Structure 1
Amino acid sequence: MGTQGAASVGHFPVHNYIRKVRIFIRYSPTTSVYQFLAAPRPSLTLPVPLLSENSSLTGSRIQHSAPNSTIAANPKGPPNHGDDYRLKDASPQLGQQWPNGGGFGGRGWMSSGERIASTYDLVEQTHYLYVRVVKAKDLPPSIAGSCDPYVEVKLGNYKGRTRHYENKRNPEWNQAFAFSKDRIQASLLEIFVKEKEMVGRDDYIGRVVFDLNEVPTRVPPDSPLAPQWYRLEDRRGQGKVTGEVMLAVWMGTQADEAFPDAWHTDTAFVHGEGLFSIRSKVYMAPKLWYLRVNVIEAQDVVPNDRSRAPELFVKVQVGSQVLRTKISQTNNTNPFWNEDFIFVVAEPFEEQFILTIEDHVHPAKDDMLGKIILPVDIFEKRLDHRPVNSHWFNLEKFGFGILEADRKKELKFSSRVHLRACLEGGYHVLDESTMYVSDTRPTARQLWKPPVGILEVGILGAQGLLPMKTKDGRGTTDAYCVAKYGQKWVRTRTVLDSFAPKWNEQYTWEVYDPCTVITLGVFDNCHLGGAEKQGAVGNSARDSRIGKVRIRLSTLESHRVYANSYPLLALHSAGVKKMGELQLAVRFTSLSLAHMIYIYGHPLLPKMHYLHPFTVNQIESLRYQAMNIVATRLSRAEPPLRKEIVEYMLDVDSHLWSMRRSKASFFRIMSIMSGTISVSRWFGDVCHWKNPITSILVHILFLILIWYPELVLPTLCLYMFFIGLWNYRSRPRHPPHMDLKLSWAEAVHPDELDEEFDTFPTSRPHEIVRMRYDRLRSVAGRIQTVVGDIATQGERLQSLLSWRDPRATSLFIMFCLCAAVVLYMTPFRVIALVAGLHTLRHPRFRSKLPSVPSNFFKRLASRADSLL
């Protein structure tokens, strides 16, 4: 059982299960596409779950140890998860709320009536005690004659330190410290100036003490509090000592300018480079351009071996993007190609344009015959579809020297290449899926329209987060949130060691199109520089994903604040897991209603996408290149927004195959068609007089419309109007969120989940891959049958006049002749009346056999007989 257990399940090999698969589906021409595709598919899965991250192998049995918070994949049907995975209302205390009289009951700068919300009215106001240490002067030297000063800020049990300077009596620090008011348990603030000692305890220079009841309050948009000079006191506070320190102490909120770069009490245990990775930052994605290159021709390209006809092609490289032309059909020294290439480049243009002409000698060897390197910024910027002038560029020629065996040397004459290149400013460079696009503006700023609205997002916090790693033998999470809309990316500060972090940070974006999506993701910070990097993530330095939320702006009412708690759902190989909840406050403000309505009648993307569209393969390839460029540039920021974060926010793997996504897409189509199916069933009941009163009313309405045909379109429009008014009562009250049932994530089989999380190319055993291939063949076979039946119906329609069946075509053309005469002689109202009454006739006048036209159509010939 030792070696055999890995390739078998129980006592039977896997391939025995595959060979015994039988498809028990009956399909006939009367079977609908929905009934055929929605029929239960044959079981082609293993009788036990496959190995996954939470699996262990014991002998020949595979056992799962799924976490308690995971909904195990259930092939029988969706479980009832209640409201735990739904959007919930949140009741945060939004806006500025100050205690009476200022920070601690003492004197304040504003009355309660003046303390109104400014730009932070979508978050809960968090109060902080700020201390800014600017500089010091006239500090006394030590016994050794030097002075290495630093400042220590002490508030209760919390201590913060500035950096120290060596041998400097007038140092400048300009560092800020922020102490959360909720954690303050002391009434005095002590600021010590000390001297750094290499051995022993640091020497005491002096101190300044503040009573917290006397600390003033300052809120933006007030100007920053001016720092003041304070004389240092001795240790007992009974006298002054030599030296002064410039300080500013005030009570403020997270809206203060000093908040992002200040030292915080919850980061006291983070040191070194880890401090930079926990601060909140705003990132601007690079400005992306499409570089269009038309390789036309070349002249005087001499191959190394002149005894054979050259097979010349051009290879163009921009950064990591490499494209090549086909081999020229003109087998001479003046090749011609005339092929277009599209690349993605970003400002500032760091990459170089490298073009080489090569000769395909044999499959394992290509000789370089010419090369040119150009900076990208020399190419013309085009804003519309006007023609671009072409240019000739001289090539740096290469060949093989005879005397210097195989060493390349420049030839005496120069070849040249004919190019037409430009930077396309009229396109929008897609770095995200068009389904979740957050920006539709063209690259060139000259083509931008004025904004139509303002999007404000208050990232309040999260609740119920799961442990993402272990630290000191216990689970912990260091969470931060990333939001992306347009070119602006924001990252909140990291809240350490908390399953319910509170960020309370507010950000604003300009909106140029309401039919766009903002994406927010929550991650666990694994770059704090300590042992917390180990645990659930192993030795990897990748920040762990917690969950993601998308909000489409067009689903939001203008000027309304949506305060909701969004479920953070993650799909794992063991099933779907709720990782926690993200609390947001969102407000979309419309600046111009007329402009907003005007946008709804215009294309989503700039007009160049429709005048000179790209192919589907080009769009996917260019999107992948754009994502790589954005991820590379943002990972070079400080602190970096790492590549795994950018790829997750931009859905880098959305194009990969997934049985679950395929099912979800299919049932979305069925949901759309459900209305049409319901109407057809209702009409069938009317025709069969299931409800005589309804059938009589339909007859009366039909007669009215026949007698007054000009009422058909007004009646239809009025009907749609009243349906819209009726549905207004049950309109959605909340923004959409991740839906488990719609995603088909709660009823998916474990093996299908394991396949979705498989690498590309696959890393699973051959037996499992073979089983999945057979399952895919069964699904594709059913789709093939449906597509073939649709093709058959179309070919039968074509054969009506093709004389493939001479008798059928003769009958049809004679029928058309008679019908033309009858329709010409008979008023249209009579024809419509007779046809309608015949369709709505009572079942007593109906036959259970198929109709004559149906029988005639099914007897027509198709090309299915010619298939192998």
Structure 2
Amino acid sequence: MQRPPQEEFLSKETNADVHGWQFSRDKLMNTHGLVEQTHSLYVRVVKSINLPQKHVTGNCDPYVEVKLGNYNHTTHHVEKNSNPKWNQVFSFSKDQIQGSILEVVVKDKSVVNDDFIGRVVFDLDEIPNMVAQDGPLALQWYRLEDKRNRKTKGELLLAVWMGAETEADELSHLDAAESNFGSSVYLSPKLWYLRVNVIEAKNLQLSDQSRYPEVFVKATLGNQALKTKSLMIRNINPMWNEELMFVAAEPFEEPLILSLEDCIGPDKDKILGRCVIRLLSVERRADARPVNTRWYHVEEHVMGEGEEKKEAKFASTIHMRICLDGGYHVVDESTYHSGDLRPTAKQLWKPSIGLLELGILNARGLSPVETKDGRETTDAYCVAKYGQKWVRTKTIVDSFDPVWNEQYTWEVFDPCTIVTIGIFDNCRLQGGDKSGRDSSLGKVRIRLSTLETNRVYTHCYPLLVLHPSGVKKMGEIHLAIRFTCSSLINMMHMYSKPLLPKMHSIRPLTVIQVDTLRHHATQIIAMRLNRAEPPLRKEVVEYILDTGSHMWSMRKGKANVLRIVGLLSGFISFRNWFDEICNWNNPITTVLIHILFLILVMYRQLIFPSIFLCLFLIIVWYYRRRPTYPLLVDTRLSCADDVHPEELDEEFDTFPTSRPIDIVRMRYDRLRRIAGKLQTMVGDWATQGERVLSLVRWRDRRATVIFAVCCLVAAIILYITPFEVVAVLTGFYVLRHPRLRRKVPSVPSNFFRRLPARTDCIL
């Protein structure tokens, strides 16, 4: 395969001068003025679905009441409609904000007393702050709750945010269906780690007394299901003492369902009892303090939604410790590519250190993605993600050079984070496939720590996508980005802090747990954002979060090997240079090294200062070569410019595989060959370490005696001989002339290679 020109894959600095914006080396601002401080609370109520009807008349006349303290707003009521539409925006000024709870109540209009249908409750501390130029907050569907905080029938589509004086009247005229063309802001749901410690159970009700039951506990939270190990018990009080971890998202719509089950055969389990736990009643913690245990009643029957009420019969009790851990950062993407590393518990958050401003200007030369009316076209929109905030630009219809010219801002809490920007084709517009997927046109990652503060970067970034046919440039995206630091001291202090919250060090999660929980977190975020209006499609979220990065790829394996080789190249170059010194290839240089060596030996206090001074001079020397633009995807480093088509086909294969058995066998044999080389290399490293340990563990008694005698003699000689003499003799011996060297291996090398290792014990 012919390599494409590398220059096509490089970013290019530009001078931005776009209508409505002013870009310079010092300022990034909107011409409409500076953003005012937020001071108002906005509630946009759009519509509701599946509301319950009156039992007498069979009709429903719903309306919505928004209550905040002593203030309230009310929509108009819609007669005889279980799926009403209001599309109204209400605002509460700063003086009207009271208490800490906002209630959005759906009621049924009546002659005497209006009937309560359901409500949605918001904590004012959890309501997001929006900037005026960020665009409207995406609408979200909320399940209605009764007065006991239990889920009831009906859903409400609304948005709640804090902001300045925005175009509230214009929002009220915006149809949710039409907003698929416009820009929107999304917020990832607040995620928690749910820790379930299953300790024991008592008083199991066993119907079959002829066998010892194999009992286990199965815990289910939404689509997540885990179970403890099976215990073959001889009494009615089994004990497990196992921990199960889940990812839970606010608002906690789904309960934790625990079931005691008996394994009576292969893939055949009998339920002994169930227990339903609402997560709103579960204790929350932000540190590693112990949580009190509780006994939960397990019942033989638990009502499901839509079932008639039946009498639940007591079965047994189960002893558990359940808590929501807020001291962790719930991992939803690779830690190295993460845009937010804060813990879940808000009381552990540190103040922001700066502001990230991103201008999504335009794109050039986008590749056609779909065909409409016999011609190729692209309906492009851009998605940017940093922290918990996602933004989506408006969709530019039928254009290969779309112009967005939109600005977004984020608070920055850690400079060692990444903002991700991707471009997609909207397939759900008129004439498109409603069941299709939004095709990706490439993405760009920018690490904030590589940016100079208060400097505007205006670059055109290449959009690179790896296809089964190879790497392809899908166009260019023109971005303007600035990282503003509010306190240089606070930002420099962040480099001394751990990357993840301290709970990850106090009670670390295993690698398998992190991978599993990350998968669940990604699915929850994708499902929640897909339910917003307009929806942010699942394939878009998964592409931005890079969910398939853990899958095997021959190309990535080669790239990582080349990265290691690149790191070792400096040591190899130093080793080659030192061999030239020892072999007297350049006698003048070797003599100068002798003189420098004598000076350092005679004045030992200069050794470490000289080392650090050399490092300082090297850093200063490389200052003139410092990068002046953010890093981007390197096709040469990624081994994407000359990758074999068969390896690409393997990388794009599904999991589990969908290829014929012959191709799978060939790939399996190839993987075995590569794994064999890695196995041999790891075994060689282990052998060298075991040889060192065998010197003191008497595996080879004669070798240990020889080594012990040499250690004793060396201790005596070094004790009576000055350090300068020992160092000079050692250095001169290493730098001796080639005529004084022998070609055979040295005695210490021969001795070390003869030492035993545990390789002999491997079957």
- Tell me which interval the TM-score lies in, with the shorter structure as reference length: 0.7 to 0.9
Match of 1:769 in 2: 664
Distance 1:696 1:262, change over 3 A: farther
Contact 1:369 1:398 (8 Å CA) reproduced: no
SS at match of 1:763: coil
Instruction: Give the aligned partner of residue 311 of structure 1.
Output: 214
Letter in 2 for 1:425: G
Report the Cα distance in structure 2 between the residues aligned to 1:509 and 1:600, rounded to whole angstroms: 20
Task: Give distance in 2, aligned partners of 1:769 and 1:804.
Answer: 45
Q: How far off is 1:529 after superposition?
A: 3.2
Structure 2 alignment gaps of length 5 or more: 23-28, 36-85, 90-131, 134-164, 303-308
In the other structure, the counterpart of 1:17 is none
Structure 1 residues 158-307: aligned runs within 5 Å:
257=167, 275-307=178-210
Q: Deviation per CA, 1:109-167, whole angstroms, max 9, x where unpaired?
A: xxxxx9956359xxxxxxxxxxxxxxxxxxxxxxxxxxxxxxxxxxxxxxxxxxxxxxx
Question: In the TM superposition, what is the alpha-carbon distance from 1:173 to its structure 2 partner?
Answer: 11
Q: Distance in 1 between matches of 2:414 and 2:314?
A: 55
Per the TM alignment, residue 419 of structure 1 is displaced from its structure 2 partner at its CA by 1.2
- How far apart are residue 89 of structure 1 and its match? 1.1
Is the CA contact (8 Å cut-off) linking 1:274 and 1:527 kept in structure 2?
no
> Kindly, what percent of the aligned residue pairs are identical?
56
Once the two structures are TM-superposed, the CA of residue 275 in structure 1 deviates from its matched residue by 2.8
Shift of 1:643: 0.5
Q: Distance in 1 between matches of 2:493 and 2:326?
A: 23
Give 1:118's aligned residue: 33
Secondary structure of residue in 2 paired with 1:734: coil
1:831 aligns with 2:726: yes
Q: Which stretch of structure 1 is more off in the superposition, 827-836 or 439-448?
A: 827-836
Give yes or no for contact 1:298–1:415 (8 Å, CA) kept in 2.
yes
Q: Which residue of 2 aligns with 1:791?
A: 686
How far apart, in 2, do the equivalents of 1:410 and 1:852 lie? 86
Residues 1:414 and 1:791: Cα distance change in structure 2 (over 3 Å): closer
2:275 maps to 1:360:
no
Contact 1:801 1:809 in 2 (8 A): yes
Aligned to 1:415: 316
What is the correspondence of 1:446-485 to structure 2 with a 5 Å cutoff?
A: 446-485=347-386
* Partners of 1:260 and 1:281 within 8 A in 2: no
Q: Which residue of 2 aligns with 1:147?
A: none
Farther-moved stretch of structure 1 (450-459 vs 295-304): 295-304
SS in 2 for 1:742: coil
Distance 1:84 1:348 in 2: 47
> Which residue in the other structure is 2:68 paired with?
none
| C-alpha contact (below 8 Å) 1:562/1:586 kept by paired residues | yes
> Does 2:7 correspond to 1:92?
no
Counterpart-to-counterpart distance in 1, 2:179 and 2:31: 32
Corresponding residue SS for 1:309: coil
Q: Is the 8 A contact 2:177 2:534 kept in 1?
A: no
Paired with 1:274 and 1:83, the residues of 2 have a C-alpha distance of: 42
Alpha carbons 1:796, 1:857 under 8 Å: kept = yes
Do the aligned partners of 1:260 and 1:279 also contact (CA within 8 Å) in 2?
no
Name the SS for the 1:83 alignment partner. helix
TM-score by length of 2: 0.79
Aligned match of 1:387: 290
Q: Name the aligned partner's letter for residue 192 of structure 2.
A: W
Q: How far apart, CA to CA, are the structure 2 residues paired with 1:416 and 1:256?
A: 55
Deviations 1:395-453 (A, max 9, x none): 11369xxxxxxxx9978654111111111111111111112011011111111110001
Rg larger for: 1
* 702, 722, 732: which one aligns with 2:627: 732
1:133 matched residue in structure 2:
none
- Alpha-carbon contact 1:329-1:336 (below 8 Å) kept: no
The 3-state SS of whatever aligns with 2:7 is coil
Name the CA shift for 1:115/1:428 in 2 (closer, same or farther; >3 Å). Answer: closer
The TM-score with structure 1 as length reference comes to: 0.69
After superposition, give the CA deviation of every residue in 1:448-476 in whole Å (9 maximum; x if it has no partner): 11000100000001001010001111100
Instruction: Give the match for residue 140 of structure 1.
Output: none
Q: What code does the residue aligned with 1:457 have?
A: L
The one-letter amino acid paired with 1:350 is E
Q: What's the Cα RMSD here?
A: 2.6
The one-letter code sitting in structure 2 at the alignment partner of 1:90 is T
Superposed counterparts of 1:407-806, under 5 Å: 413-530=314-431, 532-533=432-433, 540-806=435-701
Greater shift after overlay, 672-681 or 651-660? 672-681
SS at match of 2:290: coil
Select the residue among 732, 736, 756 that pairs with 1:861. 756
Matched position secondary structure for 2:608: helix
Per-residue deviation, 1:289: 0.7
Alpha-carbon distance in structure 2 between the residues aligned to 1:290 and 1:174: 36
2:250 aligned to which of 347, 365, 369: 347
Q: Secondary structure at the match of 1:604?
A: coil
Deviation at 1:588, TM superposition (A): 0.1
Q: Indicate conservation of the 8 Å contact 1:368/1:398, yes or no.
A: no
Question: How many angstroms does 1:88 deviate by?
Answer: 0.8
Query: CA contact under 8 A between 2:301 and 2:313: conserved in structure 1?
Result: no
Matched residues, number: 628
Q: 1-side partners of 2:549 and 2:363: how far apart?
A: 26
Query: Who is 1:135 aligned against?
Result: none
One-letter identity of the residue aligned with 1:611 = I
Aligned amino acid, residue 508 of structure 1? T
Q: Give the secondary-structure state (helix, strand or coil) at the position aligned to 1:421.
A: strand
Instruction: Identify the match of residue 336 of structure 1 among 239, 244, 256.
Output: 239
Q: Distance in 2 between matches of 1:793 and 1:597?
A: 41
Q: CA deviation at 1:700?
A: 1.4
Q: What SS does structure 1 have at the residue aligned with 2:205?
A: coil
Q: Give, in whole Å, the separation in 2 of the partners of 1:115 and 1:628.
A: 36
SS in 2 for 1:306: coil
Secondary structure of residue in 1 paired with 2:491: helix
Q: Alignment partner of 1:628: what SS?
A: helix
The structural deviation recorded for 1:325 is 0.5
2: CA distance, partners of 1:789 / 1:773: 24
> Unpaired segments of 5 or more residues in structure 1?
1-73, 99-113, 121-171, 176-219, 222-254, 265-271, 400-407, 534-538
| Counterpart code for 2:400 | F
CA contact (8 A) 2:4 2:641 kept: no
Equivalents in 2 of 1:368, 1:343: separation in Å?
A: 22
Task: Spell out, residue by residue over 1:791-849, the C-alpha distance to the aligned partner (whole angstroms, 9 max, x if none).
Answer: 22223223323444343333222222211211111122221111111111122221222
- CA deviation after TM superposition for structure 1 residue 487, in Å: 0.6
SS of residue matched to 1:819 = helix
SS of the residue corresponding to residue 442 of structure 2 reads strand
User: Could you say which residue in structure 2 is the equivalent of 1:162?
Assistant: none
Which amino acid in the other structure matches residue 446 of structure 1? Q
| Alpha-carbon distance in structure 2 between the residues aligned to 1:356 and 1:441 | 34
Which has the higher relative contact order, 1 or 2, with Cα contacts under 8 A spaced 6 or more apart? 1
Q: Deviations over 1:485-522 (max 9, x none)?
A: 01100000000000000000000000000000011110
Letter of the 1:631 partner, please give it: A
Query: Residues 177 and 533 of structure 2 are in contact (CA less than 8 Å); yes or no, is this contact kept in structure 1?
Result: no
| Structure 1 residue 260, shift from structure 2 partner | 8.6
Structure 2 SS opposite 1:395: strand
Corresponding residue for 1:372? 275
Aligned partners of 1:855, 1:705: CA distance in 2, in Å?
31
Q: Decide whether aligned partners of structure 1 residues 92 and 256 sit closer, same or farther in structure 2, where only a CA change above 3 A counts.
A: farther
Instruction: Judge conservation of contact 1:285–1:489 (CA < 8 Å) in 2.
Output: yes
